[in-house]
Structure 1
Amino acid sequence: MCPYRLVLEHVTSRWGVLVLIELLERPYRFSELRRAVGRVSERGVSEKMLAQTLQTLERDGLVHRDAKPVIPPRVDYSLTGLGREAAEQVRALALWTQERMADVEQARRTYDEARRTQDEAGRTQDQAARTQDEARAARTRAS
């Protein structure tokens, strides 16, 4: 796989998108980020999935992990400059999607209706062909 495609997969993954958009607002501690992502998704993100997503984005240079040497340990996550650029692009796409959702839904209805019409026409043709086949078979038996 091309390296840029892999990064694109990380950025546009189910949790990657939400993490990047949330981190645009401010740095978060792990549990705060988990709650914030959970508020905007249908189902909350598991600790394992969030940790995996953060590690992947950190490895790609998009997220900075700041572990503070205090007791209890404190870790903050924030965007790097590169991460901020990516997150702004992702947020723009998310906003465009929200703004254009009515158009997308209309396109889906139009598509589904056209498909139903094609399927019904296909079934009618199939029924006509079966009727002709049955008539031929009946003539053959009668001969």
Structure 2
Amino acid sequence: MPTPSEDLIRQIPSLSERLEHYHVPEGYFDDLFTRILAQIPLDEQVPAADAVVAPSAHRRAKLWVRLRPWTAIAAALIAVVALWGVWQVSTQEPLRSSDEVASSVYDLSVTPLTDAEYADYLYETCVDILIDDYAIGETLEGLSSEEI
């Protein structure tokens, strides 16, 4: 007994049967050229209303086509300026008090140090650091491992 799929396969017509109804009538291409040329009107005048677009609409479209690149450039510049303004606002420092401004101005107006003054500054800074390190070491030595 054949299976259902075998029955379906037998019902499919062969390729020659499927292509049998597709054919070109005899002599179709013999006079095709003359039939096409006969359908083309050669001497007919086109009515004026259908042939010409209204001049005002034509000019408006032409003007927009000419201005389109400039409007794109203007839009790009406006976008750049707007983004620059947003970026500037977001990166501004917060307002400071007058005392902070005065101290920052004072810091900028400090006179340069001589070599001796700079050496004294370094010596005092290094001595302070060494004293702090010594004090920390002494404190840690005095502590037991459980206290640390």
TM-score by length of 2: 0.29
Q: Which has the larger radius of gyration?
A: 2
Higher percent of residues as strand: 1
TM-score by length of 1: 0.30
Higher relative contact order (CA 8 A, sep 6+): 1
Higher percent of residues as helix: 1
